[in-house]
Amino acid sequence: MEGTHEDITAPRPDAAHPDIYGDDGSIAPAFLTHVGAAIADRDTLTLKHDVEQLHQSELGDLLEALMPEQRLALVELLGKEFDFSALTEVDDAIREDIIDALPNEQIAQAVQELDSDDAVYILEDLDQEDRDEILAKLPFTERIRLRRALDYPEETAGRRMQTEFVAVPPFWTVGQTIDYLREDNDLPDRFSQVFVIDPTFKLLGAIDLDQILRGKRGVKIADIMHETRHAIPATMDQEEAAREFEQYDLLSAAVVDENDRLVGVLTIDDVDLMRMGGVGDEELSDRVLTTSRLRVPWLLVNLVTAFVAASVIGLFDHTIEKIVALAVLMPIVAGMGGNAASQTMTVTVRALATKDLDIYNAGRIIRREMGVGFINGIVFAMLIGLVAWLWFNDPNIGGVIACAMIINMFAAALGGIVIPLVLDRFGADPAVASAVFVTAVTDIVGFFSFLGLATWWFGLW
């Protein structure tokens, strides 16, 4: 039984070799050109010298910066020296392109060198046939571990956990545990906790390494272990598990099944992958057709809502014919509402992705945004009302657009937060879909309030 796979103290990109990253944090053009030239020349020696040493996150950044054909060539030239764990650091589309281009034999060989969580992350996107073929080539124990993790539903802690961990019985002494950790060659290179289990693998507690090192050799593990207060159910949603790590400042946590048996462990680096699940479905590296397929349905919805907004204008065509100034000022009301809604919507979508906005604080945030919308509506109502009055030399026009501005800015603020919340509640991607409905709300409310008020104000019913 083994433990964590990633050294949480390993250098991240900000501590990388200065030649790799530029001042803006992206791959330096000079380094990218250097690697590209080595790939073009099929200079394996240079690539192994300059690329093989990269941390997996650095290699992931490099893969994303390279052209598609260069990525595949780089993987081919590095061969067995290519660090497959870097594929957990790239967009889904890039990872799938690379994996699809490789023979299953090479993937199977690479998977054996990975920790189980990284292996699952790579295998889960493969076709069932390819996945089964790759698993069949693995040693029995490894195959069973990976199948167990893959059997858990997507976006659960069980999918992201490592099935390797370190565990000992409670009747062992500190001395026995230290000897075991020193002598067993199958244990992981790095881990921060030793779990305590009974003969049925039921989780009893845990011991931090510093406790073991400070304890006397004759002390029993049962006497110094502590309860694992934050064990993660394998079926827990991965984003909820990530919030557990954030709330309790965890470095690692045991993962248990429905019978409280230890089945794996989550570490802080796994949480980085889990948080990605809430960001959205669209990747920057997606192909043109993939991106188009994701966006077209919502654009069709937008087309329908645009016709609805146009029909609202049609209801007041008689009013517009009588007062031409309304046609000039109409876009201002809708445009200001749309911009205000976009500001609220952007903040809301980001808060949903980071889980800063949830059912517990949604009411308070909605009330705050309504207040902001009302105040901003008053401010711009006075400004635009004055401009319209002076422009058309008619205080009535200024009064109508001022009132309409307050109404639409209030509706924009409300729609900008409520619509993303509703879409997220029903499983739609608020980052892609919100703008469609928010635009519809601000257009319809803006046109109806402005033209409706003008019709009433000037007695044109």
pLDDT of res. 383: 93
3-state helix, strand, coil in the chain (%, to 5): 65, 10, 30
pTM for this entry: 0.58
139-156 tens-digit pLDDT: 998 899 899 999 999 889
Distance CA 246, CA 356 (A): 11
Could you tell me the domains of the chain? 13-155 (1.25.60.10), 167-278 (3.10.580.10), 288-457 (1.10.357.20)
Residue 96: phi and psi, rounded to 5, are -65, -40
Distance CA 238, CA 251 (A): 16
Say if residue 458's pLDDT is above 50.
Answer: yes
Distance CA 453, CA 381 (A): 14
pLDDT of res. 26: 82
376-414 tens-digit pLDDT: 999 999 999 999 999 989 899 999 999 999 999 999 999
Other CB atoms within a 10 A radius of the CB of residue 9 amount to 7
60-69 tens-digit pLDDT: 999 988 998 9
Say if residue 274's pLDDT is above 90.
Answer: no
Distance CA 38, CA 430 (A): 42
Distance CA 105, CA 133 (A): 9
CA dihedral of 373, 375, 377, 378, whole degrees rounded to 10: 170
SS3 72: helix
Q: What percent of the chain has pLDDT over 70?
A: 89
DSSP alpha helices (H): ranges in 249-361?
Answer: 268-275, 288-315, 317-322, 325-353
